[in-house]
Structure 1
Amino acid sequence: MTNPVPTTTRTADLTRDFTWGQVPAQPEKPTVEAFAVAQPLPPLGPLAPIAGTTFRGKGFNTIFRPQNFAKSPTPLPVAPDRTSGKNPDDNILELNLTEEILEFSSPLGSVPNRGMVQGDIALNGVPYVQRINDVTVPGRTVGIHFEPGVLLNVPQTDDPTEPSTVVRMASIPHGTTIEAQGTSINAPQPKIDPVDITPFPVGNPTGRLVGVFSSQDADNNATFRIPQDLAPFKANGTITKEILADPTTVLRDRIAPQTITSTFVIFLDSDAANPLLGTPAVAGLVGGGTDNIAFLEGTGNGPNADAAEMSSIFWIETVAEQIKVPALLPGESVTVAGADSAGDGLVPGFTVTATAAVAEGTVLDVTYTQVQYTQLVHLNFNGLTWPHVSVATLIPADPVAISTP
């Protein structure tokens, strides 16, 4: 009576046995615990659907890696054709098919921020840990990203005059920390715009160097790219010329057959007044930014790989579907798999507990939370800005609890 549904081994809840509160100003007054109970917790806003949930999923990543061909060349199976003038050796385009675990802890509680001009505000949020593996070659798993961080919901403020915002604070072991802030909206359906990975001169995003890099040609194998031969991926549809030209194609294709009933959209940028990805500008926000170790920023000779700006959009989607369950007696439970609507094996699970007798083959209407994101990082080196794009679709790692009517 049980269908196999993938589950995920996770780290412990980062906020287990911890709730942020305010220390009473007068010791003889109620204890911290009593004070915390008496005060309503700040809202999580659009973060509420993901708090305390671990997600798993699949994605696609593109990054132009800097290369010093004289000092540390990357060995490739086929020597790139350097006679065409379209294979400059200052970079390698790496493409990754990815599997990901994104774990959100329980809410932090009431985080007091003391104010001099406006007065105090209280934040709430969820710590997270993101782990991404490269699975481009079947049977081979390579860790390529580990990111601890915190997502915060910030209330509307008077000074500066801003609406409620969301903040992402992230640490990346390459030597970069990011603080990105932005707004959120509620929409019936996700609207996922294209993203171009073509490099451009620093400060001139309209001057994209189209046709300069053979690595962007999915049919060219003799180029500075990993993997060089995309024929197997084109054949199975995982890396096509359309996906290489616009990685967000992966996201739109994933949701095309799904029924999505509502969406929280979170726009985040390390420079909210001048955002990337076409996200709404928040002109008054002066916070945020990226910070890099000395190796990345370089010296007067230019950066090795300066992560100058990051922008991301998260779509927190409610997906509706139907499942069929076997006969159950009151109190019995069964775990069944949902639909593989996209045909990619990314299937949610549902643990159904009967509150009354259930007939064989009963069809239930169910919903689950799905997270999709697009992330764009501008890497600066050798006089150019090199777009680094990551996309993924994530579903709950553990079966969703369902009770029969």
Structure 2
Amino acid sequence: MAAKIDPLDIVGIDDQLTAEERDIRAAVRKLCDDVVMPDVAEWFERGELPDVRGLAKEFGAMGLLGMHLEGYGCPGMSAVDYGLACLELEAADSGIRSLVSVQGSLAMFAIHRWGSEEQKQQWLPAMAAGEAIGCFGLTEPDHGSDPDSMRTRAKRDGDDWVLDGRKMWITNGSVADVAVVWAQTEEGVRGFVVPTDTPGFSAPQIHHKMSLRASVTSELVLDGVRLPADAVLPEVTGLRGPLSCLNEARYGIVWGAMGAARSCFSAALDYSKEREQFGKPIAGFQLTQQKLADMSLELTKGTLLALHLGRRKDAGTLAPPQVSVGKLNNVREAIDICRTARTILGANGISLEYPVIRHMNNLESVLTYEGTVEMHTLVVGQTLTGHAAFR
């Protein structure tokens, strides 16, 4: 007799996961159910994440912060383990996954990959435990997709560095203890480890967002920030540094987008079985079933793609253009799933009593950050043709 099919996993992707991977996924899901889901709709409605440090410590205690890094208090888990965690975190809320991604895949990864031993020892154990929060300063008010044109400057003054400039749309900025800031120097783009209590550093919070509302988003202002010589990340010069970090974060998004999609698909599926029109549940109408079938197909394909890329990452064979394929496809399809789910819920789809409108709004930001649709399309196009069409 055939095994019963799970409507949320119609082709049995779980069969491709190890027992340990399924256990990790279940543990992250339970943590989100316990500490995020009871309040996240209210946080979104109010436009705040009231206890970032408390959440960071909860995530740190579970080993979610820098979980795919090794040493310095990091658990050194696999890329697939990390991807499954991102899926569950974003099934709760994109802002929650962003908190973890920025901490681990951007700020911690930059220090772990490009920092000195002293920088690693100073910051990584506390960040892994959630006792210190990090942010990552690359995007500027006028320079997003073209980071080589950034205006933030770092100049030598004796043995010190002096930083001046602005960064924009920085997750965790207003609550961070340390910022990894990228700046132009005479040598090229360099990264700096900036304690946020350094004079001249400030991080005003950005308000009036209609997306990622359960997340702290800030501007970074660097006004004559003086740092010692050992504040620079010593192991990299040029855009290779920040772009390597972005690739780590994009990988998490490939999985996370499928978490948001699963949440909306699940809500729509349940609602369709309960909502009656013309004397029967709307799940019994052909057009509703077409929507559900299409959503299920794209959720399945996107999750399989994420798992495939995760296995390649663990094998050391994952190339940056392959991450672009995953980010481009999965976020685009996740938004379409959420919008289709909204139509099944009708007017209830815009209510925060359901997760759909929250995920829809959040994914509008996810579509743009860590590389826009246009940029990832051109990365794929260059890979296919051998011609760069960025300029």
TM-score category of the 2 structures, normalised to the smaller one? under 0.3
Considering fraction of residues, name the structure with more helix. Answer: 2
With normalisation by structure 2, the TM-score equals 0.22
